[in-house]
Structure 1
Amino acid sequence: MAPAPPGSQIAPLPLNLPFRIISKTIGQGAYASIRKACPLHATNPVIAVKFINKEHAFKQGRLTPKQLKLEIVLHSHLGKHQNIIHCVGSGEDTIWTWIAMELAEGGDLFDKIEADEGVGEDIAHFYFTQLVSAVSFMHSKGIAHRDIKPENVLLSGQGDLKLADFGLAALFKKDGNLRLCNTVCGSPPYIAPEIVSGRRSKRADMLDTGYLANVSDIWSCGVVLFVLLVGNTPWDEPTMRSEEYKEYVETNGRTTDELWQKLPPEIVSLLRGMLKVNPASRFTLDEIRTHPWFTKSNPYLSPSGTNANPIGLATQMLSQLRIDFSQDPTASQRGGQSQDPDVMDVDFFPRRSNAHPANVNMISSTQPETPVAETPFDWERPPRLGTHDGISASQPVAGDTHRATYQSQPLTQTPFLSQFPSSTQDLLSQDPSLTQFTSNPSVPLTLTQAARKFHDVLPNYSLARFLSPLSLSLLIPLLVEALHKLGVPVPPFSEEHIEQWERDGEASVRVKMADGRRQGLNGHVVVEKGIFGGERMCEVRFVKASGDPLEWRRFFKRVVVSVGDVVLRPG
């Protein structure tokens, strides 16, 4: 994926917009940033607006005016469907093109799924059913998505799936006639093999013989189902360079891979049908919808295809998020490295992955930066539970009598919530992010009793965050050391930097690297002072700018385990 638009946060946004911007950045793409907005003279509905910096996209990037126009036309043509992000409108000025869309109030689906674990069969079935409904609707309109992957699967406020990002969508049927696509696009773990293996004699991004984009969508849906079930992809890429894929092909889908061994036979039967290497023999949507596993009853699925039990579903998913502090954070994981340095590059048109072969072992773009740097950290901060209303994170509270033991010296023991006053315990026990740090995760009744919607239990913001009573000046060096141990080099910083961060009450470390699948993974590790339930602590947030949400979750877990002794835990 290309870097964020240079100066895009500084260039003035379009004037005379038919809505008001009400947030900082909530999402980012190769050439775009996304913010929340609402009508000029009302407080709702709240929508999401994607702003594309045209100069960056057309001149410095690989996006063309034709592709951008096609995205808007196809997204608008789709109309409304309960499992697809709805396009509200679009416009442009000399600098920007904007696309207004329905806001996914529930956030990222795969941000709420444990890496290397997945979700239970019922939850996987529920979301797979909704994904198939969305893709079926698109295909009925003659449109293929061509970029189905976790990054593009969002949630509504009630926890229903919403398929997003139509930047690579294509028309595969017009006037009843099928049209072949020739563009090489997609993400290696999710892309269909016919796209990867096709001849490219004229251009690296164009196949000599086209493919049916709707059939390649089926393959991607199969990989997504696999990831829902086990929390990992079946292979790095669908080529013989991947040992897992090679065995899958050579055994005709009867692989001995341990991840496949976890799956019940009826699910394996469906996956084998969807992941047929020969597109002509791959399951159709009708064959998927009539498969015995697909047609089974589901307690979360209403007759209309929506979430029948939002609170129960959110509670179950939250209880499955768990961080094991006994693990070795530096141990290599399945699929972490490729045997062949000459990795294929299929994610570059029109968006290039930062995991280009030249960058696979060069994760050195990471650097600490203050929020007042040339490219300021401009992401919206999630709400804080247990904080003093109206008080800045960096400001002391007048008459503050909180304990400062942890703030002035290194920790001698792991901080537990039970060590703090009962009032602090009561407030912070309502923070859903704390549940992932218990040895046997369970969701507090205080979270579920008053809940009315899915996101009342499982929030729309990322749970890749933790609290620590350690001071910022002590915490930053520990985080930087953890990043070094994980192979993410951070340039040295001085005492002056730390003193400045202490004065500002916040610091941001930029993370730019190749993930375990050699795809771009970018974001920030943000540390901010705050008053939580009357106690002064630091909040550490891992803010993903781009990349696979499960890979970002995996990265977060490794850093947390590395600094585990300073992470506030329940109990």
Structure 2
Amino acid sequence: MIAHSQLAPLPNELPFRIVSKTIGQGAYACVKKAAPLDSPGPVFAVKFIHKDYATRHGRLNKKQLDLETSLHEYLGAHANLVQFFSSGEDYTWRWIAMELAEGGDLFDKIESDVGVGEDIAHLYFTQLISAVAYMHSKGVGHRDIKPENILLSTGGSLKIADFGLAVLFEYKGQKKLCSSSCGSPPYTAPEVVTCDHRVKKRLDQGYFGPLVDIWSCAVVLFVLLVGNTPWDEPLERSYEFSEYLKASGRPDDELWDKLSDEIVQLLRAMMRIEPTERMTLEDIQRHPWFRRQNPYLDSNGRLEHPVQLATQMFESMRIDFSKDPVLSQRSQRSGDAMDIDEIQSSRQNDSTDSRTPNNEIMFDWETRGHLSNGDLPAAANSAAISQLSWDEQLAEEPLCSQFSSTPRVPLTRTQFARQFHDIIPSQSLTRFFSFWSTEQLRNALQDALQKIFLLKSDGSSQVGSDEVASIRIRAMDGRNCPISGDIFIERLFGVEGQAHEVNFVKIKGDPVEWRRLFKKVVVLCKDAVFKPDQSIALLSQSSVL
């Protein structure tokens, strides 16, 4: 982790003005909202890349950074791609101005281990294939198709983002093989994972970028349908992948059993081990399941009925408090796989941790998603429900629906809903409200994390402020991929007694895995979580026991 004082400030002279704190960040880049200098809108997104850290820790040289910008610009406009606007740089930073996908992360709104209905999966799969087919028609392969890079527009349509690993595989009729191992193992094709080893033996051997994208699209479809990836990596040392090989694409696995024969046939054809035998994009678009009728698509393939779509997605988000989150884990991680770092801070004193596991560098700029001091939840600020009691106001907060025995879209949203974003908030749903004290929450959260990751408590951490505290998480997720983020415990003011928002903010990693971790922690801390079915009086009593 790099402290604020060690970072160069963002460029002073920019052709736009920053209008928000960080809305996304990673190992060497952050994303902020911006607007033109001379007008209040339109608002767009700007990705700032720290060139030195991208080179030293992201293994990206200047040529690769230039390629990301040039390929993104070259792709032009497509309904399912985040559109490029402009770019620039100074000695330290490179920036890319682009379309703002205000709907947020698609997979943040998909229940882990559950997925979405077949109609919604089909909708987003067809939009994904449309975007990839367009890219390939321009000779560009993405090579990093995964949930982290799939966003939503305000209208609910899919948008592919992040072209940092994109490659020009065909130019003026000449095709080019790739030779670098990249991407996220659960989503990438086997020839990519094993590429470095093969290339060392035969310099003329590599892989073809478009065929890798087809494999990744199949994994994304699988996750849409069941809420989990089929394996942690496409290598024989992975038990699930080994079973897939032995069973010739028909593994005896509960996840695959959830799928219809027609879908399994499509997935198997897209995930053939031999790349040249994989189904082409044209074949995918002719497949009966791809061409099926969909209530959310009109005759021209455009999204319709966005409110019904958002409602179905929203009401599928539910946390089952009766499940044991520890016993239900598919795999247990050793204690050294995770680092829980208590950050003791107040509003005036930021604190960072300089330790960096696995050579990963993460910036600690303004972290997205948590409330500013004095802010109230959206429902509390709404004039339509300002006369309600606090428990009624919180019950109308969209994020609270997932903790109800019967999830529902709050009445305050359904009354005037016209678009997708009127139902589903762009902010992450990995949050909850509590009437426990900061110290009680911190202890409960840390105990839960220790149970999940089998850690031993040293009992030494203390809370430094009654207003805000946070716990930093850096771990290997259930698929053995890096995941990191912060849990913010923040006081809500204007409430009788003590009330807090607990916000799980992902910095890096698969949003489905982050959602899964959130669910486990919430179930272990269920007594602290405000539920719409309960009253504030009961929660207030429990907080003083």
Tell me whether 1:364 sits opposite 2:339 in the alignment. yes
Question: Contact between 1:114 and 1:321, CA under 8 Å: does it hold in 2?
Answer: yes
Output one character per residue of 1:269-324: Cα deviation in whole Å (capped at 9) or x when no partner: 11111111111110000000000000011111134433201111111011001111
1:532 deviates by 6.5
Q: Which deviates further from its counterpart, 193-202 or 279-288?
A: 193-202
- Give, in whole Å, the separation in 2 of the partners of 1:221 and 1:207: 28
Q: Which residue of 2 aligns with 1:169?
A: 166
* Aligned match of 2:413: 447
Which range is displaced more, 189-198 or 277-286? 189-198
Measure the CA separation in 2 of the matches of 1:207 and 1:152.
31
The alignment covers a number of residue pairs equal to: 511
Cα deviation digits, residues 340-382 of structure 1 (max 9, x gap): xxxxxxxxxxxxxxxxxxx994312633342533445612336
Asked if the contact 2:450–2:457 (Cα under 8 Å) also holds between the matched residues in 1, the reply is: no
**How many Å separate the matches in 1 of 2:527 and 2:122?**
37
Structure 2 residue 250 is matched with structure 1 residue 254: yes
* Residue 298 in structure 1 maps to residue 298 in structure 2: no
Q: Deviations 1:247-283 (Å, cap 9, x if unpaired)? A: 2112211211111111111111111111111111100
Secondary structure in structure 2 of the residue aligned to 1:482 = helix
Deviates more, 1:297-306 or 1:147-156: 297-306
1:95 positional shift: 1.0
TM-score of the two chains, using structure 2 as the length reference: 0.89
CA contact (8 A) 1:199 1:209 kept: no
Aligned partner of residue 318 in structure 2, secondary structure: coil
Q: 2:122, 2:6 → 1: CA distance?
A: 40
Q: Given the alignment, which residue of 465, 474, 492 partners 1:512?
A: 474
- The counterpart of 1:21, out of the listed 18, 29, 34, is 18
Distance 1:474 1:207, change over 3 A: farther
User: What secondary structure sits across from 1:317 in the alignment?
Assistant: helix
1:184 partnered with 2:184: no
Partner of 1:110: 107
Asked whether the 8 Å contact 1:195–1:211 carries over to 2, the reply is: yes
- Helix, strand or coil: the match of 2:337? coil
1:569 is aligned, of 525, 531, 538, to: 531
Paired with 2:56 and 2:520, the residues of 1 have a C-alpha distance of 38
Per the TM alignment, residue 244 of structure 1 is displaced from its structure 2 partner at its CA by 1.4
CA contact 1:84–1:163 (8 Å) conserved in 2: yes
> Residue 373 of structure 1 is aligned with which of 333, 342, 350?
350
Aligned counterpart in structure 2 of residue 553 of structure 1, from 512, 515, 531: 515
| Aligned with residue 485 of structure 2, among 499, 523, 544 | 523
Residue aligning to 1:282: 278
* C-alpha distance in structure 2 between counterparts of 1:488 and 1:460, whole Å: 33
1: CA distance, partners of 2:72 / 2:454: 38
Say whether residues 1:477 and 2:470 are aligned partners: no
Q: Closer, same or farther in 2 for the Cα pair 1:567/1:61, shift >3 Å?
A: same
Q: Spell out the pairing of 1:318-357 with structure 2 (5 A cutoff).
A: 318-334=314-330, 336=331
Indicate how the Cα distance of structure 1 residues 203 and 534 shifts in structure 2: closer, same or farther if over 3 A, else same: farther
Question: Per-residue CA shift, 1:200-225, capped at 9, x if unaligned?
Answer: 26769x97611111011000000000
Q: How does 1:97-176 map to 2 (within 5 A)?
A: 97-176=94-173
Q: Which runs of 5+ in 2 are unaligned?
A: 353-363, 372-376, 534-545
CA contact (8 A) 2:44 2:97 kept: yes
For 1:458, the equivalent position in structure 2 comes to 424
Aligned letter for 2:339?
S
SS of residue paired to 1:222: helix
Q: Is this contact kept in 1: 2:395–2:531, CA < 8 A?
A: no
Counterpart Cα distance in 2 of 1:516 and 1:295:
34
Q: Does the CA-based 8 Å contact 2:433-2:499 persist in structure 1?
A: yes
Residues 115-173 of structure 1 deviation map (CA, whole Å, 9 limit, x = unaligned): 00000000000000000011001000000000000010000001100000100000111
Q: Which runs of 5+ in 1 are unaligned?
A: 339-358, 390-420
Counterparts of 2:335 and 2:235, CA distance in 1: 18
In the TM superposition, residue 501 of structure 1 has moved relative to its aligned partner by 1.1
Q: Deviations over 1:477-533 (max 9, x none)?
A: 1111111112275975768x42x311xx11111111110111111110000110476
Q: Deviations over 1:56-84 (max 9, x none)?
A: 22234411111100000101100000100
State the alpha-carbon separation in 2 of the partners of residues 301 and 533 from structure 1: 44
The answer to whether the 8 A contact 2:343-2:351 is kept is no
Amino acid at match of 1:233: T
**8 Å contact kept, 1:368–1:490:** no
d(CA) in 2 for partners of 1:250, 1:256: 10
Q: Is the 8 A contact 2:344 2:465 kept in 1?
A: no
Q: Aligned in 2, Cα 1:95/1:182: closer, same or farther, shift over 3 Å?
A: same
Residue pair 2:345, 2:351 contacting (<8 A) in 1 also: no
Cα separation, 1, equivalents of 2:523 and 2:405? 13
State the alpha-carbon separation in 2 of the partners of residues 62 and 197 from structure 1: 18
**Aligned counterparts of 1:366 and 1:443: Cα–Cα separation in 2:** 36
CA contact (8 A) 2:297 2:303 kept: yes
Instruction: Give the partner amino acid of 2:350.
Output: A
Say if 1:367 and 1:510, in contact at 8 Å, map to a contact too.
Answer: yes
**Distance between the aligned counterparts of 1:447 and 1:108, measured in 2?**
20
Structure 1 residues 208 and 569 mapped into 2: Cα distance closer, same or farther (>3 Å)? farther
Residue from 220, 225, 231 that aligns with 1:229: 225
RMSD: 2.4
1:541 corresponds in structure 2 to 503
Q: SS of the counterpart of 1:249?
A: helix
Give aligned-pair identity as a percent. 51
Alignment partner for residue 427 of structure 1, among 382, 385, 393?
A: 393
Report the AA paired with residue 29 of structure 1: G
- Structure 2 counterpart of 1:368, one-letter code: I
**Could you tell me which residue of structure 2 aligns to residue 312 of structure 1?**
308
**How far apart are residue 455 of structure 1 and its match?**
1.6
Alignment of 1:16-55 (within 5 A): 16-55=13-52
Q: CA deviation at 1:178?
A: 1.6
Deviations 1:549-569 (A, max 9, x none): 000000000110011011110
Question: Does the CA contact (< 8 Å) of 1:469 and 1:566 recur in 2?
Answer: yes
**Matched position secondary structure for 2:82:** coil
Which sits farther off after the overlay, 134-143 or 37-46?
A: 37-46
Classify the secondary structure of the residue corresponding to 1:287.
helix
**Matching residue's letter, 1:28:** Q
* Match among 51, 54, 66 for residue 57 of structure 1: 54
